[in-house]
Chains A and B, each alone.
Chain A
């Protein structure tokens, strides 16, 4: 402003401006953007750009030597007309739904127990840590830990036979859908416990007392007060478990004994073979699929409104 004023008028505006400097404040939206900017920049460059890149590559042409810029839909056409694609998607979806159901049941009840039934804060912290400690061990090691446990001569069969439940070792335990589901539940239940416990802890206890005082049964209090108030945690946990199962790489491969494949292991085979365009098309289909699922969950619960107050 002062740069355009003529000489005669200079003094007053400059003085006023100098006085104004200590009081000058960035508008609050600019401060927010300064704080959020670095995170936004990193996610844009390292997440959004690469995603756009494989969206573009998914329309490219390829042969055994290289890939060629083009706009063809062959990659999608080939992918979607292969029966094995549908089979793998269906089997992944089946695993995702079963594991989601089990982890939701376990996660909600355990979180409820820890938040509402444990009265000592110290004990609660210790029990939470007990849930979390196995997570420091590599997921790969935790997955293969089930092999000696469930195997033919494994610990579980030994226990069953010692108890007289069965006379012969059970064969279906290992390298089966059962083993895959057990491993997923073992790996991912904490992802459900954490967010649900967080929303349960935020519930105002007086609301629950009010419901009980008003004559609601304990079950009615649970379904009408506690569950609705913890739906953010339930949604977040479901989101994490669901996407982890859909994006799984090694559990299905290791624990099904080669009987089932996962979407991502199918994809990685193509990547190893340097067939980037079909791999990209496959990746895009998976992204769209996960996005639709996530969007459905977000429609049920407005996670953003609940999280960012």
Chain B
């Protein structure tokens, strides 16, 4: 059997084709490739006090982790981290609101939809630094100061909004409109349909958009660098650190980020599983 998808109940006992093993090996190799250098980072972040950014390890210590929060040394890591989190949260919320609305709007053909679509594509593929350059130039002509929640926020939205819109296309495509029509036939108002039918069904996809937008914003470098003004976000701070002096502190930041993302993913997974359970329970009650 070539494609033993979940839809084919009998396929489980079938013999696997050779391509399964070939692709499985490729996948394992990709995992090794993906995590190899990451493991090196995690290891080197525990480098001894006299060690450097490369092997060999000179003992082990937690110096580099404590350096992150030590004032003066690594200057502004905690402050820039909180700025990044603040900006990423706001970007994430705005992206969800605007791209979900737009995604719903795109379910019907409307005059001018082509313009919006190609504007989004253009905004997505525009080399990042150029967006920041354009916005920075605009602010300079207007005599405005660039800053975190004005120009930098705007520059990041030009990247997260098209991303959110495209993700919403995928989400909305799987949505069956007859559910909404059923609700309308039962007398639900437009708001009730949105609140009790459309949004709950789309919620997992919307969560995906929110997380994606958060990640894109949290990591963003090239768009932000020319629009940030006085106070750096974390990626800019990290970049400044690379150019000045390298120390395993950078790796410690990477280790902490990965740890943090595992926690975030764990929490999200638990939430989604719970949501699905509640839904199954509710549908059983109704049925």
Partner of B215, one of A136, A249, A283, A308: A136
A119 touches B4 (CB 8 A): yes
Closest to A221 in B: B2
Contacts of A249 in B (CB 8 A): 128-129, 221-222
Bound-complex Cα distance A81 to B273 (A): 60
Known: A137-B258, A138-B254. A151 touches B34 (CB 8 A): no
Which chain B residue shows the least CB distance to A50? B134
A127 contacts across to B, CB distance below 8 A = 27
The reply to whether A304 and B30 form a contact with Cβ atoms under 8 Å apart is: no
Among B98-117, those with CB < 8 Å from A are 98-99, 101-102, 104-106, 108, 110-114, 116-117
Q: CB distance A271 to B133 under 8 Å? A: yes
Chain A 117-145 residues near chain B, CB threshold 8 A: 117, 119-121, 127, 129-131, 133-142, 144-145
**Contact residues, A193-247 vs B (CB, 8 A):** 198, 202, 205, 208, 212, 218, 221, 236, 239-240, 243, 246-247
- Docked complex: B4-52 residues within 8 A CB-CB of A: 4-8, 11-12, 16-17, 19-20, 23-24, 26-27, 30-31, 33-38, 40-41, 44
Which label, helix, strand, loop or mixed, suits the secondary structure of the A interface? Answer: helix
B27 touches A113 (CB 8 A): yes
Q: How large is the interface on A (under 10, 10 to 19, 20 to 34, 35 or more residues)?
A: 35 or more
Question: Hey, which chain A residues are within 8 Å of B257, CB to CB?
Answer: 136-138, 141
At the interface, yes or no: A93 with Cβ under 8 Å from chain B?
no
A149 near B40 with CB under 8 A, answer yes
Task: Tell me whether A46 and B98 are in contact in the complex, defined as CB-CB below 8 angstroms, given that A140-B239, A247-B128, A267-B129 are known contacts.
Answer: no
Does the CB pair B105–A53 fall under 8 Å? no
> Could you say which residues of chain A place their CB within 8 Å of the CB of B119?
40, 43-44, 47-48
In the bound complex, what is the Cα–Cα distance between A35 and B190 (angstroms)? 14
Which of B26, B40, B128: most chain A Cβ within 10 A? B40
Q: Which 7 A-B pairs have the closest CB atoms?
A: A50-B134, A247-B127, A35-B105, A136-B261, A32-B110, A145-B37, A113-B23
Besides A148-B40, A247-B222, 20 new A-B residue pairs in contact (Cβ under 8 A), listed by A number: A32-B108, A33-B105, A33-B112, A36-B113, A39-B101, A42-B157, A46-B157, A110-B26, A112-B23, A116-B5, A117-B24, A119-B6, A131-B30, A133-B261, A137-B41, A145-B251, A148-B44, A240-B124, A247-B126, A247-B130
